[in-house]
Amino acid sequence: MIRTFTFVILVLLCMLDRATAIAHGVSGNPVNIESIIHFPADTAFLSTSIGHPSLSAQNLTFKRRLDSLEKSVPLNYNEYVQSYIDIYLSRGEQMGKMLGLSKYYFPIFEKALKEAGLPDEIKFVTVIESALNPHAVSRSGAVGPWQFMYTTAKGYGLVMDNYVDERKDPVKASYAAAHYFVDAYKRIGDWLLTIAAFNCGTGAVTRAIEKSGGIADFWKVRSFLPRETQNYVPAFIATVYAMNYYRSHGIQSKAADFNVLTDVIEVNRHVSIASIAKAADFDLKELLLLNPSYKKQIINGSIQSPKSLVIPGVNNNAFASLYDVLNGGTNTNASVIAASMKEAFAELPKTNPVYHRVLPGQTLTSIANKYGAEVQDLKVWNRLKTSTLVPGQNIRVSAASKPYAEPNESSSMSYVVKVGDTLSGIADKFSGMTVSKIKALNGLSKSVISPGMKLIISQL
């Protein structure tokens, strides 16, 4: 998020055919998540010098369309915005894939933004930041769909430990990003400059405002911002255009390679995702895609700190099977859980940490990727103040693991109420559950429930 470089959708050098031309250099190593889409790495924009485009009918069409989309965030049209519109529309295949992914991710982002009282348009920042890839990692160590740096994520309440990296959790990262935007807007007072701050930091933006004469207007402040940030806002506006008017340019949305209709269950015990997939007959690959924040493919829930499990929308029979799995039922699923947990822990490094000798050309990011670690973890384990490495240096690349312990059999399972849910409908999802039992477990005197409520479904 706040860093020197950020993610952008395209990897190319694009020459615009105009009286005055501009070349935008966007380069980096592709990142691939389960072959859904190829995502580029960090960007390093070339300096720009663009003349005003002619006021052609085509230019006026783009302007009118942007005007029609404008709500709270100004969507100014100019040569900088047009250059990115041209780039994005030339990549119809990639845009089509992201349009498909947006069917799942955008409702999540919209909910967090709405609850924080923020403009809906801010969700398009994620397209620039990560191309809607929850596993996206930049060279500078920013992670997730919103590209949070470790320190900033910690400051906004996200958890990064041996089990989870909540920067990859679309829901939790979205609420953290929403809080950041609220704070930044209070300080800056201009939406385009607030979006710019998401790229370079509020400090850099406020200093640029001061240098430009004290007026909080992105287009007046633009030349005083870091080079990448100068292009970040035009890219944002172009993204809003491309994601709304793609049909007018012959781009087709491509369905995501996973179920975008999902349910969420709160899990209050340690259980492996593989065992859940096996017991409930889910596709493991899909379940992992829906739960990207679990680093060891283990949900480390507890009574005190339940964890969310996102599952594909399923029928009542699948819910009943999952109920048995998460509550240690009398069928064979209980042994499946125990066996898979032991197997998962057996594959982890033992109590002695692992070390790596740095080779010429290696970076913290390349080493972290090799060992499945996080850049910030490497810094903490090796007490590194910078990301500089020296060939021949030995660095620790794993934490000392703890021996496997059988999970506590005293556990419970919760259900998050969605729009349209009723107690009778929820009871039907779980074998042996009734409305009266749910009311008793949750101390409800009436059958009135509201979206977002967490209902205890079982307690052993």
Question: Using one digit for the tens of pLDDT, what is the confidence trace for 401-431?
Answer: 444 444 444 445 778 777 677 887 787 777 6
**Separation of alpha carbons 392 and 360, rounded Å:** 8
* Overall average pLDDT of the 62-83 stretch: 96
Residue 310, pLDDT score: 92
Structural contact between residues 285 and 297, judged by C-beta atoms closer than 8 angstroms: no
* pLDDT tops 60 at residue 336: no
Please choose, from the candidates 163, 149, 151, the residue with its C-alpha nearest in 3D space to the C-alpha of residue 198.
149
Q: Which residue has the higher pLDDT, 137 or 303?
A: 137
Banded model confidence at residue 451, pLDDT cuts 50, 70, 90: confident
The pLDDT-based confidence of 182 (bands split at 50, 70, 90) is very high
| Share above pLDDT 90 across residues of the chain, in percent, rounded to a whole number | 44
Where do runs of H (alpha helix) occur along 213-346? 218-221, 227-244, 273-280, 284-290, 316-326, 333-346
Check pLDDT > 80 for residue 252: yes
Does 247 or 266 have the greater pLDDT score? 247
CA 287 – CA 312 distance, rounded (Å): 8
Q: What percent of the chain has pLDDT over 70?
A: 75
User: What is residue 383's predicted lDDT score, i.e. its pLDDT?
Assistant: 82
Task: Identify which of 35-49, 66-80, 139-153 has the greatest average pLDDT.
Answer: 66-80
pLDDT (mean) for 307-328: 72
Let me know: does 42 contact 28? Beta carbons within 8 Å.
Answer: yes
Question: How many helices and strands in the chain, by DSSP H and E?
Answer: 18, 12
DSSP-based helix, strand, coil % in the chain, nearest 5: 45, 10, 45
pLDDT of residue 340: 47
Tokens in use for 262? 């999902």
Q: Show Cβ contacts of residue 42 under 8 Å, excluding neighbours closer than 6 positions.
A: 5, 6, 7, 28, 138, 139, 140
Rounded distance between C-alpha atoms, residue 453 and residue 416, angstroms: 6
Residues 257-278: tens digit of each pLDDT: 898 888 888 787 888 899 888 8
Could you tell me which of 379, 380, 385, 355 has the C-alpha nearest to residue 365? 379
Q: Which residue has the higher pLDDT, 89 or 370?
A: 89
pLDDT digits 0-9 by tens, 385-394: 788 898 889 8
